[in-house]
C-alpha cells in the first residue's frame, strides 16, 4: 500500500495528459458533492475559511482536498493558503497517498481553462491576453499553448513588475513573443486577442463586452465568490456562455450571480458545462450558429472531479 506523501517531480503532470484526464473524468460517474465551506474564528485575527472538496469513483478511488485560508498569516510571514489532498482506495477506505493540494489545484485549474478553450475557442487562435500575472497565470499560458498554437502573449497586471516577470518567463522558457500591457491599452488589447484569460481576485469587471471582438474566447478563472467579477453584464449577454460545473457556478461566482440578479441573463443563458461538452451533448464552438464570429465565455469555478482526476493521474506515476 502506498501510504506516503508524494513529492512533486517536474514533468510528472504534463498539461496534455492532465487536460485529457479531466476530459475523460467528466464522462465517468464520479460523485462530486458541492464543496463544503466552513468559517473559522481566529482570536484576535481575521476569520479563516476551511474548504473540503470530496469526490469518489465507486470501487476505485476516493479523494478529498482540504484547503485552509488564513488571511492573517501574512502578518507572521506564513502563507495564507494551505492545501493537502488525500487519495484513498474506494473499496476499503485505506489511504493510498497524500499530495500537495496547491500543486493539484494549480495544474487542474490551468488544464480546465485549456480544456474549455479546446472546446470553445477558434482552432486558429494564435494570440493570448493574460490578465493577472500570479502563480496560476504562469500555468495558464503553458496550458493554453498545449491546445492552441499560440504565437504571441500579452500580459496585464495591476502590478507591472509582476507582469514583467511573467513576460520574461514566457520569453525564456516558452520561446513565445510576449509583452506587458498597460491599463490604458487594455481595451485595445482585449480587441486584439483571440483568447482572453483572466486569473485575478477582482471584484470589479476587467473585461467589458464593448471591447470584445467577434470570434473571441474569454476565459474567466479568478471569480470564486459572489462578490468577485471579471466580466461585465454586456459580455455575458452577447456571449455563448459555459462553465466547468454549472450547478456550482450558479451559486459561487459573481460572474454568474450578478448578471442573473440584475436580469441581464437567466440561468438558461448558460448553455452547458464539462458534463455536456465531454459527453458529446454539445459540440462546443462547432455547434455555434456562427463559429467564426460568435463570442464564447468559459467560467471555471473548480470541481472536485478535476482534483480527483489529477490526483489519480499523479498516483499512476509513482
C-alpha cell at 309: 482526476
Percent of the chain topping pLDDT 70: 99
The residue count of the chain comes to: 318
Instruction: Give yes or no for residue 94 having a pLDDT over 50.
Output: yes
Number of domains in the chain: 2
Q: Both 154 and 222 in a single domain?
A: yes
**Placement of cell 467564426 in the chain:** 292
Residue 69's domain comprises 4-104+306-315
Confidence class of residue 71 from pLDDT cuts 50, 70 and 90? confident
Q: Both 261 and 122 in a single domain?
A: yes
**Which stretches of 125-169 are DSSP H helices?**
135-145, 160-169
Q: Both 181 and 53 in a single domain?
A: no
pLDDT at 3: 52
**pLDDT single digits (tens) 121-161:** 999 999 999 999 988 899 999 999 999 999 999 999 999 99
Confidence class of residue 2 from pLDDT cuts 50, 70 and 90? low
Instruction: Give yes or no for residue 49 having a pLDDT over 80.
Output: yes
Give kind and range of the element (H or E) at residue 61.
Answer: strand 61-69
Q: Give dist(CA 190, CA 210) in Å, integer.
A: 10
Q: Which phi-psi region, left, alpha or beta, contains residue 51 (left: φ > 0; alpha: ψ -120 to 50)? A: beta
CATH of the domain at 151: 3.40.50.720
Q: Both 47 and 158 in a single domain?
A: no
Instruction: Give yes or no for residue 199 having a pLDDT over 70.
Output: yes
Q: Both 140 and 285 in a single domain?
A: yes
Q: Which DSSP symbol is given to 285?
A: G
Q: Both 288 and 311 in a single domain?
A: no
Q: Both 87 and 161 in a single domain?
A: no
Cβ atoms of 166 and 189 closer than 8 Å: no
Q: Both 274 and 311 in a single domain?
A: no
Q: Both 226 and 143 in a single domain?
A: yes
pLDDT at 210: 98
Q: Tell me the average pLDDT across 307-317.
A: 95
Closest CA to 201 of 174, 177, 220: 220
Cβ atoms of 54 and 304 closer than 8 Å: yes
Q: Tell me the average pLDDT across 198-227.
A: 94
Pick the range with the lowest mean pLDDT from 43-52, 104-113, 188-197: 43-52
pLDDT at 107: 95
The structure's pTM equals 0.92
Instruction: Give yes or no for residue 209 having a pLDDT over 80.
Output: yes
C-alpha cell at 100: 500537495
Pick the range with the lowest mean pLDDT from 71-75, 163-167, 170-174: 71-75
Q: Both 130 and 247 in a single domain?
A: yes
Q: Give dist(CA 220, CA 295) in Å, integer.
A: 13
Q: Both 116 and 253 in a single domain?
A: yes
pLDDT at 259: 96
Q: Both 138 and 270 in a single domain?
A: yes
pLDDT at 7: 75
CA angle 213, 218, 219 (to 5 degrees): 170
CA–CA distance from 307 to each of 111, 198, 281 (Å)? 11, 21, 23
Whole-number average pLDDT of the chain: 94
pLDDT at 1: 47
**pLDDT single digits (tens) 244-284:** 999 989 988 999 999 999 999 999 999 999 999 999 999 99
CATH of the domain at 42: 3.30.1780.10
Amino acid at each position: 500500500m502506498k501510504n506516503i506523501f508524494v513529492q512533486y517531480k517536474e514533468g510528472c503532470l504534463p498539461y496534455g495528459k492532465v487536460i485529457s484526464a479531466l476530459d475523460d473524468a467528466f464522462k465517468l460517474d464520479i460523485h462530486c458533492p458541492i464543496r463544503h465551506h466552513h468559517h473559522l474564528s481566529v482570536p484576535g485575527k481575521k476569520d479563516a475559511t476551511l474548504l473540503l472538496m470530496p469526490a469518489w469513483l465507486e470501487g476505485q478511488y476516493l479523494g478529498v482536498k482540504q484547503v485552509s485560508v488564513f488571511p492573517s498569516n501574512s502578518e507572521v510571514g506564513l502563507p495564507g493558503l494551505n492545501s493537502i489532498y488525500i487519495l484513498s482506495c474506494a473499496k476499503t477506505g485505506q489511504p493510498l497517498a497524500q499530495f500537495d493540494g496547491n500543486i493539484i489545484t494549480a495544474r487542474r485549474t490551468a488544464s480546465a481553462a485549456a480544456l474549455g478553450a479546446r472546446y470553445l475557442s477558434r482552432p486558429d487562435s494564435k494570440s493570448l491576453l493574460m490578465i493577472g500575472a500570479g502563480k496560476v497565470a504562469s500555468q495558464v499560458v503553458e496550458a493554453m499553448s498545449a491546445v492552441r498554437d499560440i504565437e504571441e502573449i500579452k500580459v496585464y497586471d495591476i502590478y507591472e513588475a509582476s507582469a514583467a516577470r511573467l513576460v520574461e518567463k514566457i520569453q525564456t522558457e516558452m520561446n513565445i513573443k510576449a509583452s506587458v500591457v498597460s491599463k490604458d491599452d487594455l481595451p485595445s488589447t482585449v480587441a486584439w486577442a483571440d483568447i482572453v484569460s483572466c486569473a485575478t481576485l477582482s471584484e470589479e469587471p476587467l473585461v467589458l463586452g464593448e471591447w470584445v471582438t467577434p470570434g473571441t474566447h474569454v476565459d474567466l478563472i479568478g471569480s470564486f465568490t459572489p462578490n468577485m467579477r471579471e466580466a461585465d453584464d454586456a459580455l455575458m449577454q452577447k456571449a455563448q456562455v459555459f462553465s466547468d460545473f454549472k450547478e456550482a457556478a450558479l451559486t459561487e461566482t459573481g460572474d454568474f450571480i450578478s448578471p442573473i440578479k440584475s436580469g441581464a441573463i437567466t440561468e438558461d443563458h448558460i448553455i452547458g458545462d464539462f458534463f455536456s461538452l465531454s459527453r458529446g451533448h454539445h459540440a462546443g464552438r462547432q455547434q455555434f450558429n456562427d463559429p467564426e464570429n460568435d463570442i464564447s465565455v468559459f467560467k471555471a469555478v473548480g470541481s472536485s472531479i478535476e482534483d480527483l482526476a489529477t490526483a489519480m493521474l499523479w498516483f499512476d506515476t509513482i
